[in-house]
């Protein structure tokens, strides 16, 4: 499952068009999946206007057919539409028409440029055929009041048959074409045009800018051809960019899904009224909901449109069976937002570790686990006492503690009352490790939220500063790393606040001092782990001391039982409070914003047994 286990995710907005007489049954079926939360669409919705959508799609198809437009195929049908289907259809078709108008304009310009290039190529071939006799061809660029003139290119073996004697004709043969120079009275021009139209010949456009000198003519044509190549390449690139237009792809995708929408909606909307059911779902796609309804015999239309701008998507987290007992800790700060670490994965390890370390006793841990197991049948939220009690038993075995008695079991690790300094140091190490994990989680969230660079420039320096400070406690030679971390933080902050310039320095210095002070205070807060472990052992010893003062055996054992029950009750409550405080204010504060909204799935109706 990878990092997906640690990540919370947002639910999807869905809508279902279901026959009115099957609405209640459809909602019941959706509730049984546990993946649906119903919610009214805050937008003003209209009735499903199938006729309008069909008309717009026919208009789109007719437009493409009349203009011979071959559109790229899109096999992946999208599931997201913004707004009502008929509005989406109208806006998509309107945008496509505007896009096509721009496309046709570019294509027309490109066609003119390519035609001019083809004419110049034939004109260049004509000049080659004329060799040194090309002088005077520039005069064919325009007619006069008394004479029309023209140069015509005909494929070889397809000559231009010039029969009237009133028309002057001169033929020059090139490599692939024969070139005819025609001149005559203006009233003969229509006759010549008719002869050209009925043949494979074309009239060459002799540009007015063509010079009279032969060499200059070839040079001018070459220069113009280079310019045409650049212009044609530019327009071809523009055409390719137009076909890659993101809005075009969105419009075509919308039209594709609406075409599917109409084809399928005929099964739902024909001769029957429909209800519009909306809300949030954790299902992976609309096909999942549709298939679920189809299995129940409900023919409905399902899609995943884009939710309203004002709508806040609820967040779902993976709640494993071993994480649910610690839900009370996870929900205290609020629901994690999108792109945040899932606390249900972390708490099953962190809570028992902290709780058991502060409550280290094999006997007391067993009683606590037993109480948690029994009470969980009536109050399920107390199930966390079972793993916490087991953790307390394990630490009791490590420290050799059974109901506050030493010597009943061998010591595997050490006795905290004999080495109080050692347990305080271990508490600081555990706390520092937990804070480091929180800082690393913040980095992971920054990567998920596409702001890793900003995190690296500032918060990354704070992480490096904290690690450097911890290393320096054991190796003083590492002190330069602290200076490096401070410089890193200063440079990164100045880059981020470069618009403020030097004026940002006081705020930057204040923030790094605050972060450093906060990390020190957070680390020292974990001293309470060792302090409460020592206090627990001291209170257990006090119970034995009080019991030993009573000579009556009955009173002695009564004080022992009542005293240990009091220690278990008071210590369990205090340790629970301290564990909660450390989780919320020293650990979660490093990475959890808790700005999410809880996903509350629709619960199915209770099935009453038939009597």
Predicted confidence (pLDDT) per residue in 147-197, tens digit: 777 888 888 777 776 665 667 777 787 877 888 877 777 777 777 777 777
Average pLDDT of 254-282? 67
Tell me, what's the pLDDT at 79?
A: 43
Between residues 2 and 280, the one the model is more confident about: 280
Partners of 179 in the β-ladder: 153, 172
pLDDT of residue 529: 93
In this structure, what are the phi and psi dihedrals at residue 122, rounded to the nearest 5 degrees?
-70, -35
SS3 154: strand
Q: Does the pLDDT at position 330 exceed 80? A: no
Q: Is the pLDDT of residue 80 over 80?
A: no
pLDDT band with cut points at 50, 70 and 90 for residue 443: very high
Instruction: List the one residue out of 263, 305, 311, 312 whose CA is nearest residue 15.
Output: 305
Is the C-alpha dihedral spanning 464, 466, 468, 470 positive or negative?
negative
The predicted model gives 119-147 an average pLDDT of 70
Q: How many CB atoms lie within 10 A of CB 228?
A: 16
Output 63 or 563, whichever has higher pLDDT. 563
Q: What is the mean pLDDT of residues 386-414?
A: 89
Work out the average pLDDT over 336-357.
Answer: 86
> Could you tell me the pTM of the whole model?
0.62
CA–CA separation, 496 and 452 (whole Å) = 13
529-545: b or e for each residue (b if 16 or more CB lie within 10 Å)? Answer: bbbbbbebbebbeebbe
Averaged pLDDT, 126-143: 66
Q: Where are the beta strands (DSSP E) in 196-310?
A: 202-204, 274-281, 301-303
Mean pLDDT throughout 101-120? Answer: 85
**Who wins on pLDDT, 473 or 65?**
473
Report percent pLDDT > 70 for the chain: 85
Asked if residue 596 has pLDDT above 80, the reply is no
What is the arithmetic mean of pLDDT over 496-501?
84
What percent of the chain clears pLDDT 90, i.e. is strictly above it?
22
Do 232 and 117 touch, CB atoms closer than 8 A?
yes
What is the chain's mean pLDDT, rounded? 81
What the chain holds in terms of domains, given with CATH numbers, is 136-211 (3.30.70)
Task: Provide long-range contacts, Cβ within 8 A and 24+ apart, for 220-228.
Answer: 221/120, 221/123, 221/124, 221/127, 224/120, 225/117, 225/120, 225/121, 225/124, 228/113, 228/116, 228/117, 228/120
- At 354, the pLDDT band (50, 70, 90 cuts) reads very high
Structure tokens at 152: 């015509």
pLDDT band for position 269 (50/70/90)? very low
Answer whether residue 5 shows pLDDT above 80.
Answer: no
């Amino acid at each position: 499952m990878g990092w997906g286990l640690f990540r919370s995710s947002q639910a999807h907005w869905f809508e279902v068009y279901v026959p009115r007489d099957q609405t209640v049954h459809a909602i019941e079926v959706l509730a049984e999946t546990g993946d649906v939360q119903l919610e009214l669409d805050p937008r003003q919705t209209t009735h499903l206007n199938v006729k309008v959508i069909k008309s717009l799609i026919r208009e789109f198809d007719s437009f493409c057919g009349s203009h011979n437009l071959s559109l790229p195929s899109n096999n992946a049908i999208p599931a997201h539409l913004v707004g009502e289907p008929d509005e989406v259809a109208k806006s998509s078709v309107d945008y496509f028409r505007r896009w096509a108008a721009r496309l046709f304009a570019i294509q027309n310009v490109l066609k003119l440029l390519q035609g001019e290039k083809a004419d110049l190529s034939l004109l260049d071939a004509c000049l080659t055929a004329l060799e040194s006799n090309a002088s005077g061809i520039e005069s064919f660029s325009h007619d006069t009041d008394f004479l029309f003139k023209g140069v015509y290119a005909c494929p070889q073996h397809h000559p231009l048959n010039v029969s009237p004697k009133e028309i002057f004709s001169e033929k020059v043969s090139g490599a692939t074409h024969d070139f005819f120079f025609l001149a005559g009275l203006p009233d003969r021009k229509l006759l010549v045009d008719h002869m050209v139209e009925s043949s494979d010949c074309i009239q060459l456009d002799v540009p007015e800018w063509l010079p009279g000198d032969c060499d200059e003519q070839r040079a001018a044509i070459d220069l113009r051809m280079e310019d045409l190549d650049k212009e044609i390449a530019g327009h071809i690139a523009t055409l390719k960019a137009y076909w890659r237009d993101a809005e075009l792809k969105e419009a075509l995708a919308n039209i594709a899904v609406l075409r599917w929408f109409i084809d399928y909606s005929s099964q739902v909307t024909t001769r029957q009224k429909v209800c519009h059911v909306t809300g949030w779902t954790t299902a992976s796609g609309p096909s999942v909901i549709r298939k679920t309804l189809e299995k129940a015999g409900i023919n409905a239309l399902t899609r995943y449109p884009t939710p309203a701008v004002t709508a806040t998507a609820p967040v779902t987290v993976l709640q494993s069976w071993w994480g649910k007992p610690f839900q009370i800790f996870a929900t205290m700060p609020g629901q994690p937002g999108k792109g945040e670490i899932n606390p249900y994965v972390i708490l099953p390890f962190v809570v028992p570790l902290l709780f058991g370390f502060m409550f280290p006793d094999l006997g007391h841990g067993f009683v606590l686990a037993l109480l948690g197991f029994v009470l969980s049948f009536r109050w399920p939220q107390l199930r966390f006492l079972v793993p916490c009690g087991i953790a307390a038993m394990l630490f009791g075995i490590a420290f050799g503690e059974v109901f506050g008695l030493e010597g009943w079991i061998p010591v595997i690790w050490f006795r905290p009352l004999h080495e109080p300094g050692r347990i305080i140091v271990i508490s600081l190490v555990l706390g520092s490790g937990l804070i480091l994990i929180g800082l690393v989680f913040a980095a992971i969230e920054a990567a998920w939220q596409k702001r890793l660079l900003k995190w690296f420039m500032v918060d990354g320096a704070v992480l490096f500063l904290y690690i450097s400070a911890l290393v320096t406690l054991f190796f003083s030679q590492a002190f330069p790393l602290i200076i490096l971390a401070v410089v890193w933080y200063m440079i990164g902050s100045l880059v981020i606040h470069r618009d403020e310039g030097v004026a940002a320095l006081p705020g930057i210095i204040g923030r790094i001092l605050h972060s450093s002070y906060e990390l020190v205070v957070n680390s020292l807060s974990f001293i309470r782990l060792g302090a409460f472990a020592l206090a627990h052992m001291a209170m257990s010893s006090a119970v034995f001391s009080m019991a030993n003062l009573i000579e009556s055996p009955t009173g002695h054992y009564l004080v022992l039982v009542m005293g240990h029950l009091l220690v278990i009750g008071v210590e369990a409550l205090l340790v629970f409070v301290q564990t909660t405080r450390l989780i919320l204010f020293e650990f979660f504060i490093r990475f959890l914003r808790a700005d999410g909204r809880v996903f509350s799935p629709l619960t199915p109706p209770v099935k009453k047994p038939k009597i």
